[in-house]
Structure 1
Amino acid sequence: MITEIITFAIPDGMTRDDVIANYRRSAPTWRANPELIRKNYLFDAETRRAGGVYLWRSMEAAK
């Protein structure tokens, strides 16, 4: 298994609710990927960073 951590800056003007709405829209796509064991979404209001923690079955799947 491979753990991948991705973070990115939240665009100016984007609210927590906007970020969560984007996460909810993307969740079905991630759930449909058989190579992804688990995904956790990240959000930090103080630093205005968001992202995800992905647990993949293999390095090839993570690419």
Structure 2
Amino acid sequence: MITVVVNFDLPPGTTLADATARFQDSSQKYLGAPGLLRKFYLYNAETMTGGGAYVFGTRAEADALLNDAWVASITERYGS
């Protein structure tokens, strides 16, 4: 197993409710993702950061999902 933790800056003033809504909107795309065993969403109001912790069966499965296109989608969604 491999765990990948990703952190990113949230737009200033993002509340827990705002972050939760964004996270819920994105959650469907992870259902049934090959090799993804578990995903946790992260939010820190003090540092205005969000992120995710992803648990995969193998490194290859992690690399297949968390690729350049995925990074671009996170950048577009959260602006960081």
Give the TM-score of the pair, scaled to structure 2.
Answer: 0.72
Unaligned stretches of 5+ residues in structure 1? none
Q: 2:29 corresponds to which residue?
A: 29
Residue 51 of structure 2 aligns to a residue whose secondary structure is strand
Q: 2:11 corresponds to which residue?
A: 11
Give the TM-score of the pair, scaled to structure 1.
Answer: 0.89
Unaligned stretches of 5+ residues in structure 2? 64-80
Shift of 1:18: 1.8
Residue 14 of structure 2 aligns to a residue whose secondary structure is coil
Instruction: Tell me if structure 1 keeps the 8 A contact 2:14–2:48.
Output: no
Shift of 1:50: 0.6
Ranked by relative contact order (alpha carbons within 8 Å, sequence separation 6 or more), the top structure is 1
Residue correspondence of structure 1 range 32-43 to structure 2 within 5 A: 32-43=32-43
Looking at secondary structure, tell me which structure has more strand per residue: 1
Report how many aligned residue pairs link the two structures.
63
Q: C-alpha separation between the residues in 2 aligned to 1:21 and 1:34?
A: 24
Looking at secondary structure, tell me which structure has more helix per residue: 2
